[in-house]
Amino acid sequence: MRYLVFVLFFIGFYARVSAQDTVLVYFEFGSSKLSEESSNVLGNLSDKYDLTSVDSIQIIGFADSVGRIAANLRLSLQRAKTVEKACKFTLSEVNSIALYARGEGTLADPQQNRRVEVILYSKPFIIEAPEIVLNDADPRCFFVDFEALEYCHTRTVKKGKKETVMIEAMDVEEIRERDHYYAQKDTKGAVSVRKVRWTMEKTGMLWWKKSRWVTSIPKAAFDQFYFFTLADAPCDGCKETILTQDTLILNKTAYYADRFLTDNLQIKVRFFKQNELKIRAPRMYVDESDAYYLNWNAIAKEFSPDEIDRVNWETKLGKRKQDYYFSEVPFKGDQMGNLMRGRKTTECRNVDTGGSGRRWLGCGTRWSDVVVGFQFNLDAGAFYQIDTVTGFLALGISHTTKKGYARLMGGMNTFAGFYGSASYQYHYFSFPFQSLSPGNKWSSASETKISSVYGRLYLGAEIKTSSNTASLSFFEGNLHTGLVVVNAHEGSFFPRFYLQGGVGHDFSNGIERTVYPLAQIGCTINISAFKLRLRN
């Protein structure tokens, strides 16, 4: 008897488990063309099912009984081929895809017979070890690991009749070196704490095929508590006893960086738009029901979505492109902002974590200041005016915005006289030099450095004065246009080289002409920068 128990245990311990799911696609009478609804069903396979666990697929075509038997058999085969072609790229990693034509179906409703069945057979998997269930988790506190969730992609998939949340995570310390748990209720309402079992697997396809940590959690458990750690509380009040309470302290929506999606993006610099990137993301990693935003501060979780850029995903039809989402997003200098998305979270009110850096439950305060940056510059150049070329060297202060550049400076000219200028330039067209490179192709967002050097065409207005005894003095107003090469990197030593030309008028009447042509060339050297806090 003991040996029988051992054998049964051994069989259960290494049991091979498999399952199957069936997707139905319907057609119009006499047609093998996919409707928009059917195309959406096939396009969303990766969103609703765990295709990484699918070993083989059967695609079975049917037809109604109207017409000749041979014609209906051909029609059912054509429908199966249409479905195979529509989802061939999505299912490219599946080992085996078999097509069958069954001809006339046997269901009472003719419309139900005008269908194709896509049967997904899961790979058998081995249960290598029993789950670890903690019976003594109380009175320890649990903390939803929002920090680790930033490195995860989650989606609900069907395994047989059960809904589970499949989690793919980047190979980072937050996943690799922490013990995570989830809580599950039984039919009697009792709560048990179970350890999350991560396994390393290759998931995805094309450029997003990588080795990742993978696990699955029952959907009901994930919806309530995500996954969490057991540790000491980071602040007073940020705790609860999981086995005696079903609610968290304070539920709200906060915004977190989706580092997983960012790691799987590809980018390309645009030419015809100022400071803008094209991005594309795997469709399987974008949640169509969720809103994504772009923010340059990944720690500020309580921004207003109206104050930042929303990412508008688009699809493009054509070969292979239906599995991508595309968007156009801004960048600053050489940085693309963080992709943020809303998530239910908890917080401690008006509690400071003391700068520990661990943002478990949103403890802490935030600043909402408006900061304006200025730069101290040294400008060197020369200007042409009334058959005279005059050089200058001047110190100044400048302020740069997305579309404009304002500058005030004073110094001396090559005739040992005073030189001063106050100007504003409006940049009506800007292009990154990187966009002109043959190497400007789709590349990984996490590995590609965006060039901070770009060109700008601008229109400007300037008040300028120059005085000396050896040459003509003037007090000039001018309008000009020009081209500037800008290095937007914050630490750049030479941020601007420019060439401009226009027309001027001397208000002091030192120059006899009412309007005269002028030109100027120069460069700017950064000395230092400072910021003003305008409001708190």
Q: Tens-digit pLDDT profile for the chain (536 aa)?
A: 333 333 333 334 333 344 567 888 899 888 888 888 888 888 777 777 777 677 778 888 888 888 888 888 889 889 988 888 887 777 766 667 888 888 888 788 888 888 888 888 776 544 444 556 655 554 456 778 888 998 999 888 776 677 888 899 999 999 988 889 888 877 776 777 888 999 988 887 778 888 899 998 988 888 877 888 876 555 555 544 554 444 444 556 777 888 899 888 888 877 666 667 888 888 888 887 788 888 766 555 555 655 567 888 887 654 444 677 888 877 765 667 778 887 766 554 433 444 333 333 333 333 345 667 889 999 999 999 888 889 999 999 999 887 899 999 999 998 888 999 999 999 988 777 777 776 677 777 766 677 778 788 999 999 999 887 656 788 999 999 999 998 877 778 888 999 999 999 998 887 888 899 999 999 999 998 877 766 54
> Measured between alpha carbons, how far is 55 from 44 in angstroms, rounded to an integer?
18
> Measured between alpha carbons, how far is 529 from 210 in angstroms, rounded to an integer?
42
Quick check: 410 and 424 in contact, CB under 8 A? no
DSSP assigned state of 187: T
Q: Could you give the count of Cα atoms lying within 13 Å of 487 in the half-sphere of its Cβ?
A: 13
Q: How many residues does the chain have?
A: 536
- The pTM for the full model equals 0.59
> Measured between alpha carbons, how far is 512 from 532 in angstroms, rounded to an integer?
43
Please provide the DSSP assignment of 85-137 as one string: HHHTTTTTT-SEEEEEEEEE---SSHHHHSEEEEEEEEPPEE--S---EES--
Closest CA to 489 of 449, 451, 456, 532: 451
Pairing of strands 54-63, 96-104: parallel
Quick check: 260 and 153 in contact, CB under 8 A? yes
Tens digits of residue pLDDT in 134-166:
555 544 567 788 889 989 998 887 766 778 888
> Measured between alpha carbons, how far is 159 from 217 in angstroms, rounded to an integer?
12
E-state strands within 283-320:
292-295, 309-311
DSSP assigned state of 317: -
Interior CA angle at 154 toward 150 and 160, to 5°?
Answer: 165
Rg of the chain in Å (alpha carbons): 32
Burial class from Cβ neighbours inside 10 Å (0-12, 13-18, 19+) for residue 108 reads: exposed
Residue 123 in tokens: 């790979």
Please provide the DSSP assignment of 318-373 as one string: STTGGGEEEEEEEEETTEEPEEEEEEEEE--TT----S----SS--S-----EEEE
**Edge to edge, what strands does the sheet with 162-169 contain?**
152-159, 162-169, 210-218, 199-203
Tens digits of residue pLDDT in 403-439:
899 999 999 998 888 999 999 999 988 777 777 776 6
Residue 387 in tokens: 């058959």
- Token look-up 């896509």 returns 118
DSSP helix/strand/coil, 489:
coil
Quick check: 37 and 44 in contact, CB under 8 A? no
C-alpha distance from residue 421 to each of 392, 397, 458, 480 (Å):
11, 11, 17, 14
> Measured between alpha carbons, how far is 293 from 300 in angstroms, rounded to an integer?
13
E-state strands within 32-95:
54-63
